[in-house]
Structure 1
Amino acid sequence: MNRIVSFPRYLQALATVMLITAMAPAGGDDTRALYQTHCASCHGENRLGGTGPALLPSNLSRLKPEAAEAVIRDGRPASQMPGFEAELEDAEIASLAGWIYREPEVEPVWTKEEILASQVVRHPAGSLPNVPRFDADPLNLFIVVETGDHHATLLDGDSFEPIHRFETRYALHGGPKYTPDGRHVFFGSRDGWITKYDIYNMEVVAEVRAGINMRNIAVSGDGRYVMAANYLPHSLVLFDAHNLDLMKVYPAVGKGGESSRVSAVYAAPPRGSFIAALKDIEEVWEIPWPLPTEPVVSTGHMATPIAPTRSHDTPNFQVRRIPVPDYLDDFFFDLDYEHVIGASRGGESDGQGGMVINLDSGEKVADLPLEGMPHLGSGITWEYEGRRVMATPHLTRAAVSIIDMTDWTVIKTLETDGPGFFMRSHANSPYVWADVFFGPNRDRVHVIDKASLEIVETLIPEPGKTAAHVEFDRYGEKLLLSLWEDDGAVIVYDAETLEEEKRIPMSKPSGKYNVWNKTRYEEGTSH
């Protein structure tokens, strides 16, 4: 089995000591015990984050203490945060809420020096054979992330036979990202690790820890750069993709000196830049990479590969600040990355709407009446009656909203069997698949006809088990659906007949990522 590169023991010991010293101050053994019993498994023993976010004052600026009590008591909609009303007394809830707003005795840091010390290169770029060690179409492979036991499976997209299964870091988040040729894939973990994996040779080639609590990573359209978005510390971190050499650390600080978590970072290949969503500052950041001398970007909606173009003058790797009227935690882009469609999960709109920002002018061009926390990061587009439309599920509302991208009006709201998380389609498919991830009907998945904008089929692959996250093969002929359980499976469907063809047992297969769709930005795949 191909295991993750080991962090050198002396550095691991040093990092462990540093993180342990960041524990919350003494001030109530009972409260400390409550935290360890009910919170530490998700948020970390030292409040530095795990599968859940870090719980430190610097990360709670948008959550008032009374609201924190409500979250502990009632849970948080559209998240894995449960309510503890049945387990905890009111006084215990209040004590825990106060605990997470206390400053740690030692502020947890992860500086340039720690990043550099964490880097491990097992196989320098260019040192491994340039020919796949398997007989399969390299562009029709899937990476399946199995969060149940922290593994990933390399899957043949033609035969749907597993090629290799390998161990990953703990709690991968944000989806793996491929280089344009499909040879390398990068994984990001909640605890800050970036892993570069050579698909051809089925080997981990390099790793580096970008932060303590990381949201996601993005890879530039030419495959030369990787950027990480951190909740803790508040930063963006830029790496050379070849060996994950550190290039630059960007503190996420507003013009007034206010510090911010980074919600996410995205690659915008047609623009030749990274786009960052800031959690605590009403700004969007654009950071361009050097333009190539030859066309390298190929996308599913473009007839021929083209080089990115820019309509702004920001120098390479310099931040261009775009002020916005509200916090934008979640993004969707139009096909040319001229507009960003964003939504807040706690600003003025409080998850009850969205807005459209022109990335060239920085102007807001439309408001979107999208109640119920739209999950724009899972949005998709297709052609409908001669115009481009986009569709998004909602995290707290049983609906799918369909929007005309010409005038940004909502042309249809489809009522579903519950709030959803993911949507997928393909240019060659007449259907959109939307799950019902949250609520009692999470074992269902809706099939929506692109022409009629109606739900034409509701499938229940396994009664009582969560059905989620569809991904098509490169041709749009087959698709994979997850049974999102520890004893789950990936189910193969015929994309035209909707008939089940095969089940592949897996351990909570949270996401499946097709090389062609993700590197060509295929229509119907969230970007």
Structure 2
Amino acid sequence: MRLTSFAVLLLCGAVQAAPGAVSLEQAGVLYERHCQSCHGANRLGGAGPALLPESLSRIKPDEARAIISNGRPASQMAAFSDSLNAAEIDGLVSYLYQPAATPPTWSDADIRASHRMLADVGALPSTPKHDADPLNLFVVVEAGNHHVRVLDGDRFEELANFPSHFALHGGPKFSPDGRFVYFASRDGWVSVYDLHNLTMIAEVRAGLNTRNLAVSNDGRWVLVGNYLPGNLVLLDARDLSLIKHIPTVGLDGTSSRVSAVYTAPPRDSFVVALKDVTEAWELSYAGEPTFEPRRIEAADFLDDFSFTPDYRHLLATSRKAHGGQVIDLDTGKAVTDIPLPGMPHLGSGIYWKRDGKWVFATPNVSKGLISVLDLQSWELIKEIPTEGPGFFMRSHENSKYAWTDVFFGPNNDAVHLIDKQTLEVAHTLRPMPGKNAAHVEFTRDGRHLLLSVWDTDGALIVYDANSLEEIKRIPMNKASGKYNVGNKIEFAEGTSH
């Protein structure tokens, strides 16, 4: 399919290719061949983000060239230096910075027109139709074939298997009682599924390129963060009907994409990180909320963040930050920088108690180490060497180990088990040698855990959390993430929020 943005420019004579250079038309063909499967037709985004001038405002062309050539840490962006020459990469960069012939928009009318009711919740039983523990279910995202599986977390047997929208992103979120699970796909579709009745309830397209969503702790609201258009979309959690959209515009008038949105239960609020302005937002959902943002000035652009156990502080970072920063949500002030090397992935960090004091550990997507911080002094306690850069960490209050992957690099088949008291690597497992092992999630009681092998011929592997004995192996096509209902709705120690 020929993309119109470069065709219009050619017809207008706006671009003249230099001798030996790649024309915009040729670059468009390269985009279709190498980029479209992840970044979407018309560059609107898919598994990867949208590639339009509106979404590339903070990336200079030289940086874009480097990313195309060398890939990008903490993403699925591959390196193309072996398959594209310098002229082809230059041509692609020029093409990506050309505006679309028709600027992409997604209005309230578009959102409402996409809304679909698939089942009548009022007509469905309020008690589970299955005999599994509803708080020990696992929702498994099978990325290789765009499916979701629901597993019984006691017997590790499948209860349901259904197709999802393309490239689910940001992790599913649950209603406070655990009955409903909400999904957001990269291409903007939001769905709600009834885990009691194993039935899809509703769906709506909230944007064109979506980052993630959060569910309020009272179960009333779903807030969706979009890259394109840059905004927040508020939905009724019961049926995903549109309440309103909230433009993400900084105090200086700059429009921004949304990096992340999470719920902060003790605060009765959503907290939002903005990618293109140095602000974090807090939106209260207590009482009869207006959802007017409380603006908090940040010291840097924010990509993602974690909360401290009391939800008073954010530990936030961005790709350009040297480590990260601590933001006090009560005072609205940046407290201090976090002394971390490389590119810490704070959004996947976890906390636990060591010698009676809270510590926080984060993987690093550019260096082979785990950084452990004291959550009182914000000082670095230890750097734990690993076999390569990692992406996910998980633990459980009943486990003596923190599990971390080596997601990037030649040793990505390894998983390290770190003793949470000695801060030493106690065990290294290779569940399927030569295949990428990642993303652990514990059962609600912490007795077992599930680990993904991210491969077309991969698996979901069940381990005894104490003996480390393999209990079961379930073949899967790139089982990316798995999420335990009880751990997620209780915001349990050792899991992500």
TM-score by length of 2: 0.95
> CA deviation digits over 1:189-209, x for unaligned, max 9?
000000000111111110000
Q: Determine if contact 1:290/1:316 at 8 Å carries over to the other structure.
A: no
Could you tell me whether the CA contact under 8 Å between 1:423 and 1:469 is conserved in 2? yes
Q: Does 1:256 align with 2:226?
A: no
Aligned partner of 2:184: which letter? Answer: G
Deviations 1:94-125 (A, max 9, x none): 11101111111110000111001100012233
CA RMSD of aligned residues (A): 1.6
SS in 2 for 1:396: coil
- Which residue number in structure 2 is paired with residue 337 of structure 1? 311
Equivalent residue letter for 2:251: K
Alpha-carbon distance in 1 for matches of 2:349, 2:193: 28
Asked if 1:388 is matched to 2:384, the reply is no
> Aligned pair in 2 of structure 1 residues 526, 24: CA closer, same or farther (>3 Å)?
farther
1:85 & 1:147 partners in 2: Cα distance?
Answer: 26
Contact 1:24 1:102 in 2 (8 A): no
Secondary structure (helix, strand or coil) at the match of 1:451 reads: coil
Kept after mapping to 2: 8 A contact 1:172/1:190? yes
Q: Quote the offset at 1:325 in angstroms.
A: 1.3
**Is structure 2 residue 80 aligned with structure 1 residue 80?**
no
User: Is residue 114 of structure 2 the alignment partner of residue 118 of structure 1?
Assistant: yes
| Residue identity in the other structure for 2:291 | F
Q: Which residue identity is paired with 1:343? A: T
Alignment of 1:240-389 (within 5 A): 240-291=236-287, 316-346=290-320, 349=321, 352-389=322-359
1:26, distance to aligned residue in structure 2 (A):
4.0
1:487 corresponds to which residue?
Answer: 457
| Aligned residue in 2 for 1:47 | 43
In structure 2, which of residues 210, 215, 218 is the aligned counterpart of residue 219 of structure 1? 215
Partner of 1:89: 85
Residues 272, 291 of structure 1: 8 Å contact kept: no
Q: Percent identity?
A: 56
Q: 1:111 to 1:387 in 2, by over 3 A?
A: same
1:24, 1:46 within 8 Å by CA — same for their partners in 2? no
**Do the aligned residues in 1 keep the contact of 2:6 with 2:98 (CA within 8 Å)?**
no
- Cα distance in 2 for partners of 1:426, 1:151 equals 27
Query: Where does residue 187 of structure 2 map in the other structure?
Result: 191
> Relative to structure 1, is the Cα distance of residues 104 and 256 closer, same or farther in structure 2, using a 3 angstrom cutoff?
same
Structure 2 CA distance, aligned partners of 1:220 and 1:78? 28
Tell me, in whole angstroms, the C-alpha distance in 2 between the residues paired with 1:65 and 1:256: 24
Q: How far 1:21 sits from its partner (Å)?
A: 6.9
Name the amino acid aligned to 1:138: P
1:208–1:244 contact (8 Å) kept in structure 2: yes
Return closer, same or farther for 1:37/1:20 CA change in 2, 3 Å cut-off: closer
Report the CA distance between 1:24 and its aligned residue: 7.3
The structure 2 residue matched to 1:443, chosen from 413, 425, 447, is 413
Structure 1 residues 426 and 258: CA distance shift in structure 2, 3 A: same
Q: Distance in 1 between matches of 2:455 and 2:87?
A: 35
2:202 maps to which of 202, 206, 226: 206
Quote the Cα distance in structure 2 between the aligned partners of 1:139 and 1:468. 23
CA contact (8 A) 1:236 1:250 kept: yes
Distance in 2 (CA, whole Å) between partners of 1:69 and 1:263 is: 23
8 Å CA contact 2:116, 2:204 repeated in 1 = yes
1:182 aligned residue: 178
Q: Which residue of 1 aligns with 2:13?
A: none
Shift of 1:22: 7.1
Tell whether the 8 Å contact from 1:124 to 1:243 is kept in structure 2 after alignment.
Answer: no
Tell me whether 1:58 sits opposite 2:54 in the alignment. Answer: yes
- Note if contact 1:339-1:357 (Cα within 8 Å) is conserved in structure 2: yes
Matched residue, 1:106: 102
Matched with 2:432 is 462
Amino acid of the residue matched to residue 181 of structure 2?
V
CA distance in 2, matches of 1:183, 1:24: 49
Which amino acid in 1 is paired with 2:363?
P
Show the counterpart of 1:3.
Answer: none
| 2:41 counterpart letter in structure 1 | E
- Report what 1:151 is aligned to: 147
Structure 2 vs 1, CA of residues 93 and 452 (structure 1 numbering), >3 Å: closer, same or farther?
A: same
CA contact (8 A) 2:7 2:25 kept: no
2:35 partner amino acid: C
In 1, Cα distance between equivalents of 2:9 and 2:300: 37
Shift of 1:35: 1.1
Gaps of 5+ in 2: 11-23
Greater mean alpha carbon deviation, residues 191-200 or residues 28-37:
28-37
How far off its partner does 1:126 sit?
2.0
- Other structure's SS at 2:113 match: helix
Whether the 8 Å CA contact 1:221–1:269 is kept in 2: the answer is yes
Aligned to 2:486: 516
Contact 2:6/2:28, CA 8 A, preserved across alignment: no
For residue 67 of structure 1, the aligned residue among 63, 66, 72 is 63
What corresponds to 1:504 in structure 2?
474
Higher deviation after alignment, 126-135 or 272-281:
126-135
Contact 1:50/1:191 (8 A) holds in 2 = yes
Aligned equivalents of 1:86, 1:505: Cα separation in 2: 32
State which of 417, 421, 424 in structure 1 corresponds to 2:394: 424
Cα displacement (A) at 1:291: 3.7
How many residues get paired? 484
Superposition deviation, residue 89 in structure 1: 2.1
Output the CA distance in 2 between the equivalents of 1:20 and 1:173.
Answer: 26
- The amino acid of 1:340's aligned partner reads L
Partner Cα distance (1:107, 1:385) in 2:
56
42-51 or 283-292: bigger deviation: 283-292
Superposed displacement of residue 91, structure 1: 1.6
Note if contact 2:39-2:51 (Cα within 8 Å) is conserved in structure 1. yes
Partners of 1:258 and 1:94 in 2: how far apart? Answer: 28
- Mark the runs of 5 or more structure 1 residues left unpaired by the alignment: 1-15, 293-314
- The match for 2:19 is none
- Is the Cα contact below 8 Å between 1:191 and 1:214 reproduced in 2? yes
Cα distance in 2 for residues equivalent to 1:387 and 1:364:
23
CA offset digits 1:293-318 (Å, max 9, x no partner): xxxxxxxxxxxxxxxxxxxxxx6411
**1:422 deviation in Å?**
0.5
1:237 aligned partner: 233
Aligned with 1:139: secondary structure? coil
Of 380-389 and 75-84, deviating more is 75-84
Residue of structure 1 equivalent to 2:16: none
CA contact (8 A) 1:156 1:162 kept: yes
1:342-374 CA distance string (max 9 Å, x none): 00113xx2xx31110001111121211111111
CA gap of 1:429–1:193, structure 2 versus 1, over 3 A, is: same
Whichever residue aligns with residue 73 of structure 1, its letter is S
Separation of aligned partners in 2, 1:281 and 1:392: 25
